[in-house]
Amino acid sequence: RAKSDGRDGTRAFAEDMDKKARAITVLDSDMRRALAKKELVLHYQPQVNLASGRIVGAEALVRWRKDNGDLVSPADFLPQAEESGLIVPISEWVLNEACREAASWTRDGLPPLRVAVNLSAIQFRKQNVEQVVLAALAASGLESGRLELELTESILLHDTERVVHSLRALQAHGVTFSIDDFGTGYSSLSYVRNFPVNRLKIDRSFIHNLREDGNDVAIVRAIVNLGHSLNLDVIAEGVETAAQVGHLRAEGCDEVQGFYFGRPMPAADFIDLVRREAVVAQTA
C-alpha cells in the first residue's frame, strides 16, 4: 500500500511538475509574442507633493494587454519573465516607452513632470544598465533630471560594487533614484549609506493601517525622520484615504502616491488629469 501510495505520489508530483513546466513554456512564448506584437502598455500613477498639492510626477507601471482585451497585471507575468530572462527586453521596452511618453507630455504643454521607472535586479546582472538608460534618454530627448529609477532590495543586495558604479554614473548625468518598498526586507539602513539614492518610498504595508496601528505610526515617523536627516525626500505609496493623507502631512512626508489620488491609468487619462488640475489651480 505504502509503496503504491509512494508511486502515485511520485507520479502525481511528476505530472504536476510537467503541467507547471508546460504552463511556464506557454507563458514564455506568449510573452515573447506580446513583446513582438506590442501588447505591453504602461499605466501611470500620479505622485503628489503634499506642500503644493500638485502632481509632480508619475510611476510607470507595466501591463500586458492581451488580444482578447484582458489586462494582465505585472505580478502575473514579471516573476516568470525574471526567471526566463525576458525581463531584460521587457524592462528595456518599459524604460524607452516611459521616457518617450514623458518627453511628449512637455511637448503637449504639460509641466516637466518626473517619471519613475522600476528596475529589476536581473537587468544589472545581464546588461549594462548605465548604457541602456542613457540610450533611452538620448532616443527620447527626455531631460535626465526628469527620470527617476526605482530600486528594490534585490538590486541593492547583490553585486554591490557594480550596481553602485552604474548608479553613480547615472547620477552624474542627473538621473535620480528611489528605494522602493522601503522598510520591508533586511538592511535598509546600509542601502541608504552605500547607494546614491534621492528618495525613500515607504512601503504601502505601513500605510495601510496607519490610523489604528501604533507600530506603523512609529515606523512611518522613523522613515520620514531618517530620510530628512539624510537629505532624502520621502514618498508614501498605497495612500487610499484622506485620513492617511492628513497623517502623512502631519508627519512631514513630502509626497504621496496611491488610489486616493488616482489608480495607475493610461497615459491619455494621466495627461487629462494633469490638465484638469492646471485649470483648477488657475481658477482657484
Residues of this chain that bind ligand C2E (CB under 6 A): 45, 61-62, 73-75, 78, 91, 94, 118-120, 150, 180-181, 204, 237-240, 258-259, 264
* Alpha carbons 51 and 222: distance in angstroms, whole number: 20
Nearer to ligand C2E, 181 or 251 (CB): 181
Compute CA 220 distance to the chain's CA centroid, rounded to the nearest angstrom.
Answer: 20
Q: How far is the CB of 201 from Mg ion (least distance, A)?
A: 5
Q: How far is the CB of 247 from Mg ion (least distance, A)?
A: 19
Q: How far is the CB of 206 from ligand C2E (least distance, A)?
A: 12
Nearer to ligand C2E, 13 or 259 (CB): 259
Which amino acid does the sequence have at 186? Answer: Y
- With CB atoms as reference, the residue minimizing the distance to ligand C2E is 258
CB 256, CB 223: distance < 8 Å: no
Find the radius of gyration of the CA atoms of the chain: 21
Helix/strand number for the chain, H first, E second = 12, 10
CA–CA distance from 185 to each of 51, 127, 149, 274 (Å)?
30, 25, 19, 34
Nearer to Mg ion, 25 or 187 (CB): 187
The partner in contact with residue 62, picked from ligand C2E, Mg ion, none with C-beta cut-offs of 5 to 8 angstroms by kind, is ligand C2E
Nearer to ligand C2E, 61 or 86 (CB): 61
What does the binding site for Mg ion look like in residue numbers (CB under 5 A)?
118, 150, 180-181, 237
Compute CA 46 distance to the chain's CA centroid, rounded to the nearest angstrom.
Answer: 12
Nearer to Mg ion, 82 or 150 (CB): 150
- Picking from 169, 103, 163, 86, the residue whose alpha carbon sits closest to that of residue 138 is 103
Q: How far is the CB of 98 from Mg ion (least distance, A)?
A: 12
Q: How far is the CB of 178 from ligand C2E (least distance, A)?
A: 10
Cell of 250: 502631519
